[in-house]
Amino acid sequence: MLAALVALCAVPQALLLRRSPADLGLAPDGADPGEEGVAPDAPAAAPAGAIGSAWRHPAVRRLTLATALEMLATTAVAVHLVAHLMERGASPPLAAAAAGSLGAMSVAGRVALTALAGRFGTGPVSATLIAGQAVGVALLFALPQPVSTVLFVLLFGAGFGTIHIARPALLGNYVPAAVFASVSGGQAVAGQAGRVVAPVAAGALIGTAGYGVAFGVVAACTLAAAALILSAERAAALTPERAAPR
């Protein structure tokens, strides 16, 4: 079924979507494509050593580590939450609803980030939402069901997708546009590495020490990610000459 859905969506796009406006005979700003000297704009090449210099920026390194830790934490919860809730006595419908509601709450968190970032800054708001995930984990173990599950979903879900929109927004302030794509790709790889490690590492930890320790590590990862985001913002403020033009 999944393969059929992918084929149904991907094949028409591959056949119908154009590669660029030039394929349709269009040129920038309404210029005549047959006019001499009119050609599609070529992307500016990054200066030699610019990518390496960007990676040496402390803000970039800290944001990359924050991304990996947050992806590790959210993936571990997404994989193991249902089993944990059912072990604590939650009914299967409640456990499934809680896991599914994380995605819905992530939308609310992204809306809140977008609304508040202009006033308080993307870094502080995203760090607050991500740190709130640790509070959600603490309440999950401190309070009885179903109150603990509801509060957990509200707090953990609000930060569930924050890193996906906060990371590129913050990175755009740290590096020049010419190297943004390369550095962003590297950060995406780090995030995916966290997602790959999370289910296996969390499962091994649950098997040896239990859900309490595993979710404690999840909370620690979210707090570390929040602290790293704030530290990255401070590092960028202290090294303005290396930051991207605003």
For residue 124, the domain's CATH number is 1.20.1250.20
Give the pLDDT of residue 2.
65
Q: Residue 55, class by beta-carbon neighbours within 10 Å (0-12 exposed, 13-18 middle, 19+ buried)?
A: middle
The number of distinct structural domains making up the chain is 1
Q: Is 245 inside any structural domain?
A: no
Q: Divide the 246 residues of the chain into consecutive groups of 10 and give the mean pLDDT of each group.
A: 71 67 63 51 59 89 96 95 90 90 91 92 96 96 90 94 92 90 93 93 94 95 97 87 48
Q: Is 94 inside any structural domain?
A: yes
Q: Is 112 inside any structural domain?
A: yes
Q: Residue 151, class by beta-carbon neighbours within 10 Å (0-12 exposed, 13-18 middle, 19+ buried)?
A: middle
Q: Is 105 inside any structural domain?
A: yes
**CA–CA distance, 98 with 152 (Å, rounded to integer):** 9
**DSSP, res 103:** H
**CA–CA distance, 85 with 98 (Å, rounded to integer):** 9
CA distances (Å), origin 74, targets 70, 119, 206, 244? 6, 27, 16, 29
Checking phi first, is residue 43 left (phi over 0); if not, alpha (psi -120 to 50) or beta? beta
Q: Is 15 inside any structural domain?
A: no
Tokens of 162: 């924050």
User: Domain containing 84: what range?
Assistant: 52-238
For residues 47, 51, 54, 55, the Cα torsion angle rounded to the nearest 10 degrees is -160
SS3 call for 126 = helix
Q: Is 5 inside any structural domain?
A: no
Q: Is 90 inside any structural domain?
A: yes
For residues 141, 143, 144, 148, the Cα torsion angle rounded to the nearest 10 degrees is -80
**CA–CA distance, 242 with 19 (Å, rounded to integer):** 34
Q: Is 22 inside any structural domain?
A: no
